Every structure is written in structure tokens, then in C-alpha cells.
Structure 1
Amino acid sequence: MKDDLIGTQTPKRRITDPAEALAALELALPGLTALRRPEPAELDWAVVEEGLGSGLPADVRHLAERYRSFAVGDFLLVALPEPGEEHHMLQGVRDTLEVLADAWWEPGLGLSLHPAPGGLLPWGESNESDKFMWTTTGDSPEDWVVTVASRSGGWWHYGGGMVQFLAEYCGGTLEPWALPPIDPEVTPC
């Protein structure tokens, strides 16, 4: 299957403002606000960017500065860096890329893995091993789209950012192709 044959869901409007995207996520996950940091964290984004060879989208940076890693519905883990422990996030990305390359990769998809240009860069996974990634195409990280690799074999794109994807998936406004409906209960990790 080629990349142009993978399904794509496009939001009615792509949210480009990180604060607006986070507000949409907090609306979809009311319990999330109980986990909000008292003050935004000071993360060493230079370490993350150097380790990845790329910056990250503003919405995920905004989310990570306000929240620690969390799970939704005992299903989806959203892994975020912690101040002073940014290298742990990088190791998690490397580990997931190895798993993708070894056990998941379908060469006919027409997609590549990070750090290849436009490669898939993981940001989350489910307890059933579904993978949530960015497709790193475009002029900047703000252009990246979400790509989902379901354990059941479904691969698809979402034409918006990570935080908007989470808001729409958790809020039930996104068709969860090859994913189960999600319980909006939030737990810290």
C-alpha cells in the first residue's frame, strides 16, 4: 500500500494556536486539569531538538510545559519530557523506532522512519501497542500531521496537530479508524 492509499481524516479547522489546542484537549478531558503543573516547566528543548535532529511542534511543547506524561482511558499513553530528564524521552523515541523497524514496518507503505526526511517520529502508544506518530513533512514542525499505526493493521493520517488529535479522539468527534472508542478518564504516569 502506498502513502496516498492510506486514509486521511482532516479536521474542519486545523488549530494552530497551542493554547487553543490545549483548551480543546482540557474540554475533552475534564480530569486533565487536575494534573496541570502549578507553574509551566522549564524544559531543555535544545537537548530534545539536538537528540531528535529537529524541533517539535508548538502544541506539544505547550502541553509538555504544563503537564507530565499521562494515560487516557487506561489505553493511550502520552509520553512527555520531564525537566532534567529530557534524555529519557529521547531514549523512548529511539526504542519505539527500533520496535517499528523490527516488528511493524511495511515497506510498501511509502513511509519512512525518522530521521529520514519526512520520517515517522513517535509520540505515544496504546496498551495494545498501537503507535501514534508525526509524519515529519512540511516546512516546519507546525506542518506535521499525525499518523496512526493500529495493531490491527490499519495505518492512517490525521491532518492536524497532536494535541488537536487527542482532543478530537478523546472528545469523540474523530472517527477512531481501527482504534477503540476511548474512555476520557485521565491518570498520571
Structure 2
Amino acid sequence: MDDLVGTQTPARRLTDPAEAVAELERVLPGLAAHRLPTPPGVDWPRLEAALGTALPADYKLLCDRYPAFELSDFLSVGRPTPGNEVAWAEDTDDLEILAEWCEDADLTLPLRPYPAPAGLLPWASSNQGDLFLWTTGPGGPGDWTVTVASRNGAWWHYTGGAVQFLADLAGGVLEPWALPRIRPEITWVHRQ
């Protein structure tokens, strides 16, 4: 048995970070009310040096514009806090869980956590224990895609970026395989 449900591809991949964030703001009209007046001052070069890789520009722009938030009482989109970049990069709890899930998954092509080549790197989670991951790759963070690891054992891929994934999931464009339907609403915001 293969735990890979499938792959979903956006009609057009949004490669411009500002366009991806604008699409998320369009789909989640309540999000704009939480926009930060100034970026929080995350030291991205320090964080990326500690992590050993650059991160996707759409995610960094989202983190510079918004505090951590929860979508539809389900999906938590966190972000690093200024001064804690190295700790954020070195937090291995989700990677340890992910390593166990990868080992247990019955996938035709085995998946591994980052820093393995094309390894999976967590960027969000759900209150049900699902993980939302980047599939890293040699093309660089602008080409990374999303992998969903559902707590119930189903895995699936989305060939767009993380912010576009959030917009497409909240907007009902994606089939939420092994996940509940997401309402396009922000249900919690953490002011750090």
C-alpha cells in the first residue's frame, strides 16, 4: 500500500512573493487587519546560516508582514521571533517526529527530513498533528514545493509555494485530502 494520495498543481504558480501574499490577503480578507506596521526585525541571514539554507521569499515576506496566526481553528502558521532565530533554526522536535513518520510511511519514493537532499522542512502544523512541509531541492527555495504529512498517515504534494498553498487551501481551490475543509478565516493571532 502506498500512503501517497497524490499531487495537486496550481493553474499558475505564483513566483512573485508579493503576488502570493496579495492572493492570500484576497482569500482571507480578515488577514489585512493584522498587518504589522513594520517588519518585526527577524535576522533572516542569521537564521538561514544556522539552518544551512535560505528560505522561500514568500514565507519570509509573510513573516515580515504578519504575526503568527491560525487559520480556521486548524492550521497554525508560525514564524521566527527576533532574537530567537538560531533557536528556531535548531528546534528539531518536528524533524524528529517527521523522521519517524517518514520511516513508517509506505511510499514508493522514500521521503526524509531536512538536511537530507530534497529533505522535508516543516513550516506549519495543525492542531490535529498534521505537518506542512517544504520539499527542499537543488533548484533553491524559490522552487520548493509543499508536502502535507497528515497525522492519519496520508501524504500529498502541492507544486506551488507555501503562501500560495495557504491561499488555495483557504480559497477552496485545493482538495483537502486527509484534512478538514478550511474556512477562509483567521481565528487566532499571536502578537509577539
Common topology (TM > 0.5)? yes
Q: For 1:45-67, what per-residue CA distance to the aligned partner results, in whole angstroms no more than 9, with x for missing partners?
A: 12211221100011001111111
Q: How many Å apart are 1:2 and its aligned residue?
A: 6.9
Answer 1 or 2: which has greater helix percent. 1
Structure 1 unaligned residues grouped into runs of 5+: none
Residues of 2 paired with 1:37 and 1:105: CA distance? 40
Q: Among all aligned residue pairs of Structure 1 and Structure 2, give the percentage whose two residues are the same amino acid.
A: 55
The residue aligned with 1:171 is: 171
Q: For 1:29-55, what per-residue CA distance to the aligned partner results, in whole angstroms no more than 9, with x for missing partners?
A: 111111110012322112211221100
The residue aligned with 1:70 is: 69
The residue aligned with 2:13 is: 14
Moved more, 168-177 or 35-44: 35-44
The amino acid of 2:27's aligned partner reads: A
Contact 1:68/1:82, CA 8 A, preserved across alignment: no
The size of the alignment, in residue pairs, is 187
Contact 1:169/1:182, CA 8 A, preserved across alignment: yes
Q: For 1:125-145, what per-residue CA distance to the aligned partner results, in whole angstroms no more than 9, with x for missing partners?
A: 100001100010241111110
Q: How high is the TM-score relative to the length of structure 1?
A: 0.92
Q: How high is the TM-score relative to the length of structure 2?
A: 0.90
Q: For 1:131-185, what per-residue CA distance to the aligned partner results, in whole angstroms no more than 9, with x for missing partners?
A: 1000102411111100001112210000000000000001111111111101222
Query: Which runs of 4 or more aligned residues in structure 1 lie more than 3 Å from their structure 2 counterparts after TM superposition?
Result: 102-105
Structure 2 unaligned residues grouped into runs of 5+: none
Q: How many Å apart are 1:79 and its aligned residue?
A: 1.0
The residue aligned with 1:188 is: 189
The amino acid of 1:184's aligned partner reads: P
Residues of 1 paired with 2:177 and 2:152: CA distance? 10
Contact 1:68/1:81, CA 8 A, preserved across alignment: no
DSSP-derived class of the 1:31 partner: coil
The amino acid of 1:97's aligned partner reads: L
Q: How many Å apart are 1:88 and its aligned residue?
A: 4.2
The residue aligned with 1:147 is: 147
